[in-house]
Each structure stands twice: as structure tokens, then as C-alpha cells.
Chains A and B, each alone.
Chain A
């Protein structure tokens, strides 16, 4: 009996440790192939060159061209999602009747459940033609449309997490502000948002991390031309869509093209890892505040 209990505990512990092996696996795979990549390409060129053309005869390996595309689309997404998501959170928390809030929140969360390949299709076939009627010079593949649709996708992230943060602020703060004669708007922006700021910042950081790692929307709607540019009307390529492009083709194992996707993946992993760690740290540090 005692023996069986111990055996079960050990096998459950093994299940939990698979998560550790996953992390080790990710880092090992990325590092292993990247190290062999950096034997052939200097890190200096990788970090400073502004052209990325590993699939051409004249090869350049400047990751900046992919990083700029990645951050351009992510910045557009956040510019759409932050004001809308935060306004929705404040509206649902401060203004909307309770029944309203209960019915609307699940509807908004459907936006987060839609597969990203569907959003990519939506961006390419509906949003881009629509934006072209306003701005005819917009190219078929562009970062504007991809960024806007990505922003729509992450609205529920920001609205849900921010609303949770606002909800966690003690009622007494809100009531005190009302008691001083503040309007709901004043209470929201002078009391509630500052008090919930750590939670709101965490939601925004997680949204940025999500936008940087998003793949299918940019692979379908933003194009496949790595460009070191901030122009939202022209095609760009992100780190993720480059990995998709190479994977869709046939890069033989051990070739330099094969290794580039791991070097690009390592760069992406470092960005999201940093952002996730910052958000985890903020969450831990400010969690105790109201408990």
C-alpha cells in the first residue's frame, strides 16, 4: 500500500517535470542550431545589417529587417487594442449595468477564441480592400491591415485582464472618490486606473508579447518582403512569417536556410521571454498590495 502511494507520487512528479524538460528542450534546440548558424555568420552582421536575404544568391543576414517588421505590426496592434480595450474595461467596470457586463464579456471573449488563420483571411480579403477604398496607395500586402486585425484579436486580452485588475481595487477607494463629489470619469482616471496600474501594465505587456509572437495573421496579410522600414503601407516580413515561409518550402536539414529559422526563433524567444518575465515580476511584486 505504502509502496503504491509512493509510486503514484513519483509518476505525478514526473508529469510535472515534463514542463521543465519542455523549457530545456526549447532552449537546447534553439541554442544548438543557432550556435552552428553563428559559426557561419558573424553576430555583428546579424545584429547590424539591415537586409535579410538568406534565400537569395547574394545573402544578407540582418535580423533588424525582420525585427522592424515584427515591432511595426505589433505597435499598430497595440495602438488599436490599448485605447479600445482599456475603454471597454473602464466602461464595463464603472458604467455598464451588471447584467450588461455579464452578457457582453463572453461575446468579447469569442474574439480571442477565433483561430488566427481565420483572422489572417479576414485581414487579406476584407480589411485590406476596405482600407484601400480610403487609402488607394495601400499595397495588397501591408503591415497596417495585419496590425489592425491583430489589434482586434488582442482587444479581449487587454479588456479582460484590465477589468479584472479594476475589479480587484477595494470598493472603499471608489466610494471615497464618489463621496468627494467626483464623476465616474474622474474616479476612473484619477483613482481606479492608478490603483490598478500594475494589473493594467501586465495586461499590456502580455498583449505586446502575444502580438510579437503572432504568426498566421502576418504570414497571410503582411507579405513576405523583409524591409527595414516604418511605412505601414508596404509589405514587410516578421520573424514569425519568415519561419513560416522557410518551413513551407523544403529547407534540407543542416543547410544554412534551415539554421536561420532557429536563429530567428531564438531572437523571438528572447523578446517574449523578457516581456513575460517583466510581467511576472510586476505581478509578484504588486500582488500583495491589496491582500
Chain B
């Protein structure tokens, strides 16, 4: 009987501990957001969003950082989506079970685990130096494209895998070729899943700082980039720079910029979750 009660007690104790830990994780999230909003909300206004960076924290804004982030994401989308989705289609629909396809598979899973700063070194060696693009938007977006490629490929494959076989066979039976089947049947019905993966990968790319520092993103860019060969700054880079300054005013500006970055990240994640739920319902 004694043993029974002891076991009951341990069981109950662990239940409470597990619950506490789960809420601890959420509590930390709340503390983080609360502290940043409490300090940073004073800076959230139109002037902050449309001012150039400055040596004086009170007048410093995030205009160039926002434009830089937008430019960088636009180019990254252009490079990464066709290649990532294309690679996903190839691996799922064309590649036969061979040495090459298993090599591709191991390789992609390994690339997904390579630290982002190593991608920065790759970009520095190949795009910045070898192709001589310099520390430009072009180098930055090519580097980020390679970084998010594994995420898009994996998401595309999962989405294509979920398409029922019967749909494809019906298309073949109607005399459609392989590419017609992919284009008109497989891609439309896996669209939701692919889109979810793309949005999640972009939300990851928007928050990346380390590879862009290595590639040569600047902390202080007092002008809006005019071409893809111009130097640039991005939101996380601006936050990093302000964080490393000793003046309190820059910590407040950093909090303001973090609010903007978190909003973008959360909205993108929200949209992704929405699309995923809708798509999963549709598939069933």
C-alpha cells in the first residue's frame, strides 16, 4: 500500500512539473514580448518608420532597413521559389530510386543542418569575391536563397506526397503527359502545402542576421538602395547594430525595430498556419 501511494505521488508530482515547464515556456514568451513592447512602443510612429538611420538615437529610423528587407526578400523569392519547388518536383516525381537520388536526399538533410553563418562564408567566397558582386543586395539574396532552399524542397516534397494517387492516375488515364499531370493536377492540389513551406522559409529568412553580416550588410546605410548592386541594411542588422551601442536611446530604438520585426514574423507564421489548416481540410 505504501508503495502504491508513493508511486501515485511521484506520478502526480511529475504531472505538475510538466505543466509548470509548459507554462514556463509560454511565460518566458510573454515576458520577452512584454518587455520589448513596454520599452519600444514609444518609438512606434510614422516618423520612426520613414526616417533614415542617424547618429542621434532620438531621430534614428528604420526606413532604409525596411526597404532593404523588402528588396532582399523580393529577390530571394525570385531565386529560391522556382529552384526549390523545381527540385522538390524532380525528387518526388522524376527521380528513380538510385544512388544519385539517395545522395541528393542525404545531402539536403545535411544542408538543412548547416549553421547559417557557414552559408555566409559560402556567399562571401562565391558571390562577393569570386563573382565580384560585392556586399550587395544580389549577394545577400543569393546567399539567403541557398539557405532556405532545403526548407522549400522538403515542404514541396511533403505536399506532393500528400496528393492522392487516384488523382494522378485519373489524369494519366485521360492521356495527359507526365508534365501536364504535374502542372494541372499535382501542383494545384499541393499548392496549399507548398505555399505554407514558402511563407515559413521566408519568415526564417527575414530574421536572419549572421550570414548577411558575413556577406557584408552594412549597419549604417543613409540612403535607399537604387539597384541590386548597392550595399544594403536589413531590419535584424539594424537591431544588432543598435543593440551593441552603449547609449540607452539606441536600446529603445532597437526595441521599436524588434516590435516591427516580430510583427512581420508573427503575421507570416499566422498566414502559414491558416493556409496549412485550410489545405489539410481540403485534402480530406
Contact = CB atoms under 8 A, between A and B. Distances in A.
B240 interface: yes
A121 B258 contact: yes
B186 interface: no
Contacts, number: 257
17 contacts: A18-B83, A22-B122, A25-B126, A26-B114, A26-B118, A84-B25, A88-B18, A90-B18, A108-B26, A113-B266, A115-B209, A120-B243, A126-B32, A216-B210, A243-B120, A243-B210, A272-B115
Contact of B178 (A5, A22, A88): A5
A265 B118 contact: yes
10 shortest A-B CB distances, which residue pairs? A213-B115, A91-B18, A115-B207, A29-B125, A15-B86, A215-B210, A276-B113, A12-B90, A183-B11, A16-B87
Contact of A110 (B94, B216, B269): B269
A107 interface: yes
Contacts of B14: 87, 90-91, 95, 184-185, 188
Interface string B121-140: 11011100100000000000
B122 A104 contact: no
Residue among A1, A107, A279 with max Cβ neighbours from chain B (10 Å): A107
A234 interface: no
Nearest to A206: B113
A244 B210 contact: yes
Given A107-B26, A273-B110, 4 more contacts: A213-B115, A215-B116, A243-B210, A280-B106
Please classify how large the interface on chain B is, using the bins under 10, 10 to 19, 20 to 34, 35 or more: 35 or more
Contacts of A183: 7-8, 10-11
B254 interface: yes
A79 interface: no
Given A15-B83, A116-B207, A244 B110 contact: no
B121 A280 contact: no
A268 interface: yes
A9 B94 contact: yes
Contacts of B35: 122, 125-126
Please classify how large the interface on chain A is, using the bins under 10, 10 to 19, 20 to 34, 35 or more: 35 or more
B72 interface: no
Residue among A110, A111, A253, A262 with max Cβ neighbours from chain B (10 Å): A110
A213 B129 contact: no
A213 B116 contact: yes
B68 to A, nearest CB: 15
Contacts of A8: 179
Nearest to A248: B213
B129 A244 contact: no
Contact of B121 (A118, A220, A261): A261
A215 B114 CA distance: 12
Interface string B92-103: 001100000001
A209 interface: yes
A117 B90 contact: no
Interface stretch (B41-49, B145-153, B159-167): B145-153
Given A25-B126, A30-B121, A280-B109, A117 B209 contact: yes
Contacts of B236: 115, 117, 216
B104 interface: yes
Interface of A: 1, 4-5, 8-9, 11-20, 22-23, 25-26, 28-30, 32-33, 84, 87-88, 90-92, 95-96, 104, 106-108, 110-111, 113-118, 120-122, 124-126, 152, 155-156, 159, 183-186, 188, 206, 209-210, 212-216, 219-220, 240, 243-244, 247-248, 253, 261-262, 265, 268-269, 272-273, 275-277, 279-280
A87 B25 contact: no
Contacts of A12: 86-87, 89-90, 94
A203 to B, nearest CB: 13
Given A110-B266, A125-B251, A29 B126 contact: yes
A247 B120 contact: yes
Contacts of B110: 23, 273, 276-277, 280
